[in-house]
Structure 1
């Protein structure tokens, strides 16, 4: 059997360059490294703690709650690396923050999609677990994201996301010179008719790994395009980041309520501890 690791360093992680004291328990996971600054601009305080390849990590505080964010680049392979190495340094909660394409006609550009579960139309999670294993979001993370979106007044939809390996063929877009992958249109219609809300490229791997490792995860993405209406605008970029940041503070309150009640985990009857 292969050795445990090719990396002799037990502390600092090979790809991310982070050590246990660098990150909070909860981490926001955008794709683009340039989104890190846009996210941390909304926090009370922050500092960059590591930067290597596509992985840029910052740690700080939001509404009194410790919080970190790590960019993952594009796609599930690098997102899985981020989850693996962040878990190794003690992170327990992961919130994917990104953009997406909606596939239901009633969804508007700028709306949020809060993922309850994901279609595993990517190959990374297949290398971890059998095809039928569910990529489900943690119910507490979903509840915190919904509460945050409500408090912020953002329009949102809760439901199933499809995660793909390809931005073009995998999401039924034409490739170079109009190339169309076999079955792409049928796949698009099948997902739309099944009520799937959106396409993106990381959530199902993040959710699958979190479930395998006994961690909790969720995802919130801003709609940039509606694939059924043809509308496209980079509108509401900060809404997903705002929602995930507030959700982190709400999760801290939820965890505190569970501890006060002597419960194993938070449930809606515990509330958020407000007077």
Structure 2
């Protein structure tokens, strides 16, 4: 099946449209970060860098850490950007750009997010690390794909009943992280939990500046929800979209969170840069073990 030019958009040099990358410029293990400036904070630990490519908020560097080839890609903030980045990374790995057709032999990528997050449980303190074992998405992106078979519908229904979910919001969906990556990146002292992915930073995460909320008790209800003795632990803006798209495309994905805020306690890290840098080194070392 030849993919039309309007669907698989390539630049004049043959690179994929948004990321501006050629297939040979990415590794099979890719670290994603939201902030383009964080790419350099990861790659400074590399002993060798092969490629540096930038376009818009999408900055990529590919090189070697302790002998392992890795890529770092900045996604920008939000589920809509994850939809772009994950589809284009998959295209780079699994579509032949010359024939514009999917390859017969598909490559399974490892896609690991290193990002910041806010805890909604008082016992998960600022400056800690949290692995997203599971995800629940409020963004709606996955509903645009044929994805019913990868979702935990019972979990989502229980959550909507608990919150008396407003019908005009996108229906929540639940997708687990890759269990092989969970095991690989775990350590004593690193928290695990279910991460909520929001469509925005202020109202969608229950923050009030000058606008009233549709449900001003939403965060309290999310924090009090439990399903099979598992609670929702933290909020951010990419994880569930990553997990859903990775699973549909046949890749492995995991989200590593630097907890820089605790919404339950009203606290914020005194040095968020330090905890992110520590999580970068921790994740890199775990990936090469």
- TM bucket normalised to smaller: 0.7 to 0.9
2:276 is aligned with 1:237: yes
Of residues 104, 107, 113 in structure 1, which corresponds to 2:130?
113
Quote how far apart the aligned CAs of 1:52 are: 0.5
Question: Whole-Å Cα distance in 2 between the matches of residues 36 and 8 of structure 1?
Answer: 25
Partner of 2:40: 37
Which residue does the alignment assign to 1:264? Answer: none
- The Cα shift of 1:28 comes to 0.5
What number of residue pairs does the alignment pair up?
240
Pair 1:63–1:193, CA change in 2 (3 A): same
SS at match of 2:18: coil
Query: For residues 180 and 244 of structure 1, what CA distance do their matches in structure 2 show?
Result: 39
- Give the counterpart of 2:205 among 160, 165, 171: 171
1:96-245 alignment to 2 at 5 Å?
Answer: 96-128=113-145, 129-130=147-148, 132=153, 134-147=174-187, 155-175=189-209, 177=210, 179-185=211-217, 187-194=218-225, 195-233=231-269, 234=272, 235-245=274-284
Q: 1:115 deviation in Å?
A: 0.4
Structure 2 gaps of 5+ residues are 94-107, 154-172, 226-230
1:53 to 52, 56, 62: 56
**In the alignment, is residue 9 of structure 1 matched against residue 10 of structure 2?**
yes
Deviations 1:84-139, CA, capped at 9 Å, x for gaps: 11111126110011000001101111101100111111122222234746421111
Mapped to 2, the partners of 1:232 and 1:8 lie a distance apart of 42
| Alpha-carbon displacement from aligned partner over 1:119-162 (angstroms, at most 9, x marks no partner) | 11112222223474642111111111114xx5xxxx42101000
Q: Which residue of 2 aligns with 1:69?
A: 72
Partner of 1:95: 112
The alpha-carbon distance between structure 1 residues 65 and 174, as it changes in their structure 2 partners (threshold 3 A), is same
- RMSD of Structure 2 on Structure 1 (CA): 2.0
Closer/same/farther in 2, CA of residues 20 and 171 from structure 1, 3 Å limit: same
Alignment gaps of 5+ in structure 1: 251-275
Q: TM-score normalized by structure 2?
A: 0.78
Distance in 2 between residues matched to 1:81 and 1:112, nearest whole Å: 27
